[in-house]
Chain A
Amino acid sequence: MTRGALRLVAVLALAALLLALPLLAEKYYVQFATKILIMAIFAMSLDLLVGYAGLVSLGHAAFYGLGAYALALLSPQYAGANLWTSLPLAVGVAAAAALAIGSLALRTSGVYFIMVTLAFAQMLYFVFHDTKFAGGSDGMYIYVRPVAAILGWQPFSLEDIRHFYYATLALAAGTFVALAVLLRSPFGKVISGIRVNEHRMRSLGYATFRYKLVCFAIAGGLAGLAGYLAAAQHGNVNPDMMGWHLSGGGLMMVILGGMGTLTGPVVGAVAMLALEVAFQGVTKHWQLLMGGFIVLVALFLPRGLIGLAAAARRRREPGP
C-alpha cells in the first residue's frame, strides 16, 4: 500500500471509531471524549498562534472563558439559549475581545508578548472574579443546555449526551478542516512567513501587524467556541475558565502533541486528559507524574508526540 492509501485507511478507521463511540461506550466515556474534543479545539486554536504565527500567548484562556460566560449570560434562567444565535455570538464576543487585546498586545513581541497576554487574561479574570455581574468567584450556572431549535423544529437535543458528543465532534472536525484550509491559503502562508522572519516579511511589503491581529482574532474566536461548548457541557462557568492555569495547560497540550501541526494539538489534548485520569488512578500526587512525563517529552521528543510518528516512518522507509 502506498503512504497515501495507508493514511486514508487510518483516517477512515479513526472516523468510524469516533462515529461509533457513543454506540459502544458507556456514558462516562462519551462525556470524557466530548471533553477531549473541546480541549482539542482549544489547543488547535492556540497552536494557530504558537505553532504557526510564532506568537506565544499565555492568555489564551481569556477567550475560552469569554465564550463560556457569553453562553451563561445569554441563557435565560430556566430555559436554554438558542444554539444558532448564542454560539455565533459567543464566538463573536471572544473574537472581538481578541481583536481589542491583540491590537495592544501585538505591539510587543517575544517575552513581552507572553507577559502582556498573561496580564490581559488576568485582568479579565479579576473583572469576573471581583464583580457581581456574572456571579463573582462562584460563577454562574446554566441549567438548560442550548436548544437547537429552528422555527420550532429541533433537529437534535444537546441534553442528550450522544447528540452533544456528535455536535462537538462536528465542530472539532470543522475547526480542523477550516484551519487546514486557512493554513494553505495566502493568509496562512503569510502568518507562517511572519513566524520564520517577520523582518523580511515587512521588507517584502506585508503590513505584518494586521495579519497577526486577524490571526489573533481567529484564534480567540475558536477558543471562544471551545469555551462555549465547555460551559454547555458542564452547566456552569467560573473565573477559573479564564485563568492562567488553563492557558498554560493549553500550551502544554500544544507542545506535548507537537506544535506547528494540526494533529499535534489534538494528540496533545488526548494525551493530557487521558494521562491525567491514568495518573490519578496511580497516586494522588499525579501531577508529579504528569510533570515528569512532560519533561521527558520535552527532552527526547522536541517535536512532540507527533514527532514520534514521523521518526517511526523514517525508520521504516530509509530516506533518500
Chain B
Amino acid sequence: MTRRHDGARRVSEVVLETAGLSRRFGGLAAVDGVSIRCRHGEVHAVIGPNGAGKSTLINLLSGDLRPSQGTVTLFGRDVTGLSSDAISRLGVGRSYQKTNVFLPFTVFENCRLAAQARMGSSMRFVRPAHAYREVAEAARRAIDAVGLGARADTPVAALSHGEQRQVEIAMTLATNPRVLLLDEPLAGTGAEEARAIVALVAQLARDHAILLVEHDMDAVFAVANVLTVMTNGAVLASGTPAAIRGNRAVQEAYLGTDEPGAA
C-alpha cells in the first residue's frame, strides 16, 4: 500500500489502479497503455480533447467495455474483464455522460431501484418493494444530497436536463459506492446546478475515491487533487494541478495559451 503525505491531508491507499490498459476498436487504439491510480479521499480528474479516450477509459473501469490489454485492480483484487454488474457490486458507482436513467419512473423510484441493488438479492417476490425501509431511506439520502428533494415524486422525463443530470448522480450515490466514476457530470447543467455539483463532488471526495472526467476546466481545477491529461488514447502527463498547469506539452496539446482555471 502506498501512503504519502500531501500537504496537511493524509491521502490513503490506492483503491483503483490500471496497468497498461488498452482498448482497440479495429485499428484504432481508443485507450492505449493507460496506467492510473485513484486513491481514497482524492479526486483524480482525467482531461483531454474530444476523442482522447476518456469515456472509453471510464467504460473499461466500470466493466461496460472489456479491455484488449492491461489490468484493472480494485481494492487489491484483479477485476479485469468482470461484468459491469459485478464491478458495481464491488463498490464502484458510475454516472454517464449521456443521461442514462429510467425516464418513465419518478426520481424516487430511480434512486430506490439504485439503492435496492445493494440489498443483496432482489429475488424477493412477496413483500412490497416500498416496505423495505432501509432501501427507501438510502434513496431519500441520495436525492437530498443532490438537492432534488422537492422533485422526488416527479417522473424523470418531466425534469429539466440539468435536473436529470442530478438524478444521474443521485442514482450513482444511492448504490453506496466507495469509488465514483463521474463521466462529465456538468455536461448540460446550468451555472447554478454546476456549482452545486462541484460542491457535492468536493464533499464526496472526503470519503470516496473519485475519478472525474470533465470538460469544465474551472470545475476540474477547483476540485481535483491529481490530473491526468490524455490525448489520442494515451497519457500525456499526470500530476498535481499546479504541475499540469505549468506543463509545456500540456499547454501546447490541449490547454492552449490561456492559463486554465484562472477565470
- Decide if A202 touches B84 in the complex (CB within 8 Å): yes
Residues of chain B lying within 8 A (CB to CB) of residue A196? 102-105
Contact A204-B113, Cβ < 8 Å, known A197-B101, A199-B100: yes
1/0 per residue, CB under 8 A from B, across A162-187: the answer is 00000000000000000001101111
| B118 on the A face (CB < 8 A) | yes
Distance (whole angstroms) from the CB of B237 to the closest CB of chain A = 30
- Decide if B122 touches A203 in the complex (CB within 8 Å): no
A13-21, A205-213, A227-235, A238-246 - interface stretch: A205-213
| B5 on the A face (CB < 8 A) | no
Residue of B nearest to A182 (CB): B125
B interface size (C-beta, 8 A): 36
| A74 on the B face (CB < 8 A) | no
A interface size (C-beta, 8 A): 25
- Give which listed residue, A193, A207, A211, contacts B113 with CB less than 8 A: A193
| B247 on the A face (CB < 8 A) | no
Residues of chain B lying within 8 A (CB to CB) of residue A264? none
Tell me the residues in window 83-116 of chain B with beta carbons closer than 8 Å to chain A beta carbons.
83-86, 88-89, 94, 96, 100-105, 109, 112-114, 116
- Decide if A205 touches B128 in the complex (CB within 8 Å): no
| A132 on the B face (CB < 8 A) | no
For the complex, give the distance between the alpha carbons of A184 and B132 in Å.
12
Residue of B nearest to A203 (CB): B84
Contact A186-B122, Cβ < 8 Å, known A196-B102, A200-B100, A204-B175: yes
- Give which listed residue, A181, A185, A187, A206, contacts B85 with CB less than 8 A: A206
For the complex, give the distance between the alpha carbons of A182 and B124 in Å.
8
| A189 on the B face (CB < 8 A) | yes
| B171 on the A face (CB < 8 A) | yes
Tell me the residues in window 127-178 of chain A with beta carbons closer than 8 Å to chain B beta carbons.
none
For the complex, give the distance between the alpha carbons of A214 and B124 in Å.
11
- Give which listed residue, A185, A201, A208, contacts B127 with CB less than 8 A: A185
- Give which listed residue, B85, B96, B125, contacts A208 with CB less than 8 A: B85
- Decide if A205 touches B117 in the complex (CB within 8 Å): yes
- Decide if B102 touches A202 in the complex (CB within 8 Å): no
- Decide if B122 touches A190 in the complex (CB within 8 Å): yes
Residue of B nearest to A191 (CB): B122
- Decide if A203 touches B94 in the complex (CB within 8 Å): yes
- Decide if A184 touches B105 in the complex (CB within 8 Å): no
- Decide if A181 touches B125 in the complex (CB within 8 Å): yes
| B123 on the A face (CB < 8 A) | yes
For the complex, give the distance between the alpha carbons of A208 and B85 in Å.
8
| A188 on the B face (CB < 8 A) | yes
The 10 A-B residue pairs whose C-beta atoms are closest, nearest first, are A205-B88, A205-B117, A204-B117, A186-B122, A205-B89, A184-B128, A202-B85, A186-B124, A189-B129, A196-B102
28 CB < 8 A contacts A-B: A181-B125, A184-B128, A184-B129, A185-B124, A185-B128, A185-B129, A186-B122, A186-B124, A187-B122, A187-B123, A189-B116, A189-B122, A189-B129, A193-B105, A196-B102, A196-B105, A197-B102, A200-B102, A201-B85, A202-B85, A202-B88, A203-B64, A203-B85, A203-B94, A204-B85, A204-B113, A206-B117, A207-B85
Q: Apart from A184-B128, A186-B132, A189-B122, what 12 extra A-B contacts exist at CB < 8 Å?
A: A184-B130, A185-B125, A185-B127, A190-B116, A200-B96, A201-B85, A203-B64, A203-B96, A204-B85, A205-B117, A206-B122, A210-B123
Chain A residues with CB under 8 Å of chain B are 181-182, 184-190, 193, 196-197, 199-208, 210-211, 214
